[in-house]
Chain A
């Protein structure tokens, strides 16, 4: 008789916990009692094992492949998993660290991640000290004893999106997890895990409200820090991670980050501060290849949850387009972030009163 069991998508959840040794399971003693940090997603996507499979039609086999002529190799592969969630104080700070592999802390505690061409790790795989560099065990939990544990997890690309007309005006965060530990072994990435979910930390439910952005400024031609009226913005950060080498299990020895790329777009209102006239001409900024400072600030001081400061040095990558609606004409400004002398290409600071070691 067929089984009547159903697995609702909402029954599946996942958690992250920072590793103390790159690519190694925090608890491989049997039932995994690690206190994972539950992530506040709506629908969890499954980790995908991207391994090597060779399937050949050998000579003499006739007109169909033979079962003996295929080869599967879990060594040397990757595991990826997409995520999409509303940003919360811890998830934003931790995912910024996972993609940027850089963290600065001040006060109690503002976490800063900057992309500046020198601070970000160019590779990871050595010693981890106080949570840096940062990689995680990822626990995917559909049901007891049916869990998947992926080790050596970082974020390969992350998009921050703010849109006053989407997600009730809350900042969202999406992207992909990446691991070079594709070969299941008991001490690392493994299947059929029994997670002790009672130990997991609860999801956060404190968010970042786009309508709470106190400061929104952008340079235009010779005028610095003009205030804009905004509809939406996106920042996409990718680190181009590659897995390199193989240990005795065929899992990665090192991750290499060849280039940190930050691109984005912003939709702002056509008005006296951003128009096609002399001194405020967004088209001229594109034609001249100007580098402009962009600031988006949720609360100025970063001393409470829900506050963040984004500072970027941008150049337009295309002719400023138009978004035409009943609200009037808005500029659609696509850009990339560039290091501008000593000013970081991209910097985000956000408050979460937890040390990285608590993640």
Chain B
């Protein structure tokens, strides 16, 4: 699941108490969108430390014109 950090509160997260791996956590702290295991993502969402990233669907360019 793709999530993005709630940057103003992520510093409150205890890294030892969450399922998110340290590499992804660092990326979240950098403001990046990360794609992590659903269970870990849902935990961060539930704790208020992250929000779900928008899954923007790219529109296919039309070939008929």
Contacts and interface: CB of A to CB of B under 8 A. Distances in A.
B12 interface: yes
B12 A305 contact: yes
A205 B14 contact: yes
Main secondary structure, interface of A, reads: loop
A351 B49 CA distance: 12
Interface in B1-27: 6, 8-9, 11-14, 16-17
A33 B29 CA distance: 40
Contacts of B49: 304-305
A204 interface: yes
B9 A307 contact: yes
B47 A206 contact: yes
B48 interface: yes
Given A351-B48, A353-B48, A306 B17 contact: no
B16 A303 contact: no
B17 A209 contact: no
The number of chain B residues touching the other chain, given as a range, is 10 to 19
Nearest to B9: A304
A207 interface: yes
A304 B16 CA distance: 17
A212 interface: yes
B46 interface: yes
A353 B9 contact: no
B31 to A, nearest CB: 16
Contacts of A306: 9, 12-13
B9 A299 contact: yes
Contact of B13 (A204, A206, A303, A351): A206
Contacts of B6: 303-304
A318 B60 CA distance: 74
B46 A304 contact: no
B9 A205 contact: no
Given A304-B6, A306-B9, A307-B9, A353 B14 contact: no
Given A89-B47, A304-B48, A307-B12, 12 more contacts: A206-B13, A206-B14, A206-B17, A207-B14, A212-B11, A299-B8, A299-B12, A304-B12, A304-B47, A305-B12, A307-B9, A353-B48
